[in-house]
């Protein structure tokens, strides 16, 4: 009689161990899936390199990228976007502000930006543009292209130059969302009080 209880107890104990092991494996798999989805489809962290987005973003600022932002809507004018140049050999991200939208024309003349022939009044504080680059002539954007500029307009490598050019929608990683050091939403930084 005692032998039967011992064997039954061992069998139940083995079942319990297997059940706990299976639950443990499922929990680990779920954590891995959640981490993968978070990193690849929701948010990512990057660091601002260079001075091209001064005064909005500074060299070394830690930026949280919202990768979900453009899964449900298109980038808007003045969004600060993070993109990787297609066909480019470097592995770092670019961070710039959207100025021209798909289908529009962009030109820079007399220190001002013109969209479809009308002067742009920006809601951010920036200097007049001294370097026109390719935008000295009118640029027609295709249906999947954006024209981007750095906020440090006279010290930025952006859509005005052939090595960057117009940014394809497929190359946009996401929206620069939060500056993590000196915490602030990037949309709220460097607003032009005269325009608001």
Q: Is the pLDDT of residue 195 over 80?
A: no
Q: How far is CA 2 from CA 5, 7, 8, 14, 172, in A?
A: 5, 9, 10, 19, 70
Q: Is the pLDDT of residue 11 over 80?
A: no
pLDDT digits (tens, 9 = 90+) for 73-83: 999 999 999 99
Give CA–CA dist 41/49, Å, rounded: 23
User: Is 19 a catalytic site residue?
Assistant: no
pLDDT digits (tens, 9 = 90+) for 120-174: 999 999 999 999 999 999 999 999 999 999 999 999 999 999 999 999 999 999 9
Q: Is the pLDDT of residue 192 over 90?
A: no
**Catalytic residue chosen out of the listed positions 96, 156, 159, 175:** 96
The answer to whether 117 and 76 are in contact (CB under 8 A) is: no
pLDDT digits (tens, 9 = 90+) for 116-130: 999 999 999 999 999
User: Is 159 a catalytic site residue?
Assistant: no
Q: What is the value of pTM for the model shown?
A: 0.81
**Catalytic residue chosen out of the listed positions 52, 69, 156, 159:** 52
């Amino acid at each position: 009689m005692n032998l039967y209880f011992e064997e039954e107890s061992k069998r139940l104990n083995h079942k319990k161990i297997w059940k706990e092991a299976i639950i443990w494996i499922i929990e680990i798999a779920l954590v891995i899936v959640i981490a993968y989805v978070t990193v690849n489809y929701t948010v990512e962290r990057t660091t601002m390199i260079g001075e091209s987005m001064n005064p909005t973003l500074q060299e070394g600022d830690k930026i949280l990228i919202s990768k979900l932002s453009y899964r449900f809507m298109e980038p808007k004018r003045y969004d600060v976007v993070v993109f990787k140049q297609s066909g480019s050999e470097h592995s770092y991200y670019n961070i710039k502000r959207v100025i021209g939208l798909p289908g529009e024309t962009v030109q820079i003349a007399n220190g001002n930006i013109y969209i479809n022939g009308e002067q742009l009044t920006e809601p951010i504080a920036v200097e007049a543009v001294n370097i026109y680059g390719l935008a000295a002539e009118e640029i027609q954007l295709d249906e999947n292209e954006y024209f981007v500029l750095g906020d440090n307009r006279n010290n930025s490598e952006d859509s005005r130059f052939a090595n960057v050019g117009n940014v394809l929608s497929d190359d946009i990683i996401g929206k620069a969302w939060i500056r993590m050091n000196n915490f602030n939403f990037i949309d709220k930084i460097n607003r032009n009080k005269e325009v608001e």
